[in-house]
Structures are given as structure tokens and as C-alpha cells.
Amino acid sequence: MKNLLYLYFIALLGLGSCASQKNMETKPPFVIDHPTSQKWVGGKEERSSGIDVVLPITQIMDENVSFQHLYFRGHVTTVKKEIIDGKQFVSAKITIKKFTKPDIIMHADPRQEVGNRPPHMKKDTIAEYPYELDDDEAVLSYIGNDGKKVKYTKISEIKEKEPLLYSTKPRN
């Protein structure tokens, strides 16, 4: 009887974990053609850096599709649907580093520097990332025509463009 109870408990855990798995849709209601990514770096020290991902939609079978999130290179970000010159795009902006300089008081009298904080090494908190993807792959989540269930599709062959390096000098 005790073994039967353990077997029942293990089966219950196994069935519960299957519901949390994210299944990939093989035929989403849209076609993405020639997706690109582009790294960018701000010109000043205080600026940030990141990656812009652009997914051109060449064909959409259901206008009620609502795009949610993009999983790319260990990051999760929200996406937005844009229409530029009659062409539809899904775009995501991933901010990787945000550089900030703390205010430091430098004074001949050390007592004036009491409020300064020593630098600390910030540990990156890595959220549970559910996918193992190559650098040229991403997962796009969307809500289909039923309006209830979130679906996922894998996007491959994302071409990386040359990085954008913003200048520190003002343009005159």
C-alpha cells in the first residue's frame, strides 16, 4: 500500500510538470522572413548598450494575433508590432547594460567624504530561462485567435547586422 501511495505521488508530479512545459508551434499564423539583430552602444560612459531585434512579417493569416515576448540570447523582453511603409514588423529592444556613475565627494578633509559608498560588484541575477537557443535563434510568444492561450514559435537564422556605435561628440 505504501508503494502504491509513492507511485501515485510521483505520477501526480509528472503530470503537473507537463502542464508547465512550453510547446513550440510549428505552423504559426504568420510568416517571418529575414529577421535581423543589431547590437548598439551608447556614446557616453553613462549610457547603456543593447540589441535591437527586427522580425519582418511577410504574411499574416490572422489579424487578431497579439505578440507578447521575445526570448533572445538569455534575455526576455516585450515586443511591439509596427507598420512602416505598409510593411509589418515585430521589434524588440533589449537593454543589456546600463552604466551609471555614482556621485562621489572628493574633499581634502576625509570627514566630508563620509557619504561616499564603496563600489560593489553587482551579481547578475539570472532568471530561469526556459530555452537553450543558439545566438541566431529566438522564441516569440503570441496569443492566437482564441485570445486565451499563449503560444510559442522558434525563429531561426537571425542575421546579425554591424553594430551601431553612437558618437560622444555632438553633431554640428
More confident residue, 78 or 122: 78
Are the beta carbons of 90 and 81 closer than 8 angstroms?
yes
Q: Which three cell numbers stand for residue 1?
A: 500500500
Q: What is the pTM of this model?
A: 0.66
CATH code for the domain in which residue 135 is found: 2.60.40
Residue 105 — pLDDT band, cuts 50, 70, 90?
confident
Mean pLDDT score, 78-95: 87
Domains identified in the chain, total number: 1
- Look at residue 91 and tell me whether its pLDDT is greater than 80: yes
Each residue's pLDDT tens digit, 11-29: 544 544 444 446 777 788 8
Q: Provide the mean pLDDT of the chain.
A: 76
Within 13 A of 51's CA, how many CA atoms are on the CB side? 20
Q: Indicate whether 96 belongs to any domain.
A: yes
Q: Indicate whether 62 belongs to any domain.
A: yes
CA distance 48 to 42: 6
Each residue's pLDDT tens digit, 117-128: 776 655 444 456
Residue 168 — pLDDT band, cuts 50, 70, 90?
low
Within 13 A of 80's CA, how many CA atoms are on the CB side? 6
Domain span including residue 30: 26-102+126-165
CA distance 108 to 124: 36
Q: Indicate whether 117 belongs to any domain.
A: no
Residue 151 — pLDDT band, cuts 50, 70, 90?
confident
Q: Indicate whether 170 belongs to any domain.
A: no
Within 13 A of 3's CA, how many CA atoms are on the CB side? 0
- Containing 142, the helix (H) or strand (E) segment is strand 138-143
Segment among 33-37, 41-45, 107-111, 121-125 with least mean pLDDT: 121-125
Q: Indicate whether 158 belongs to any domain.
A: yes
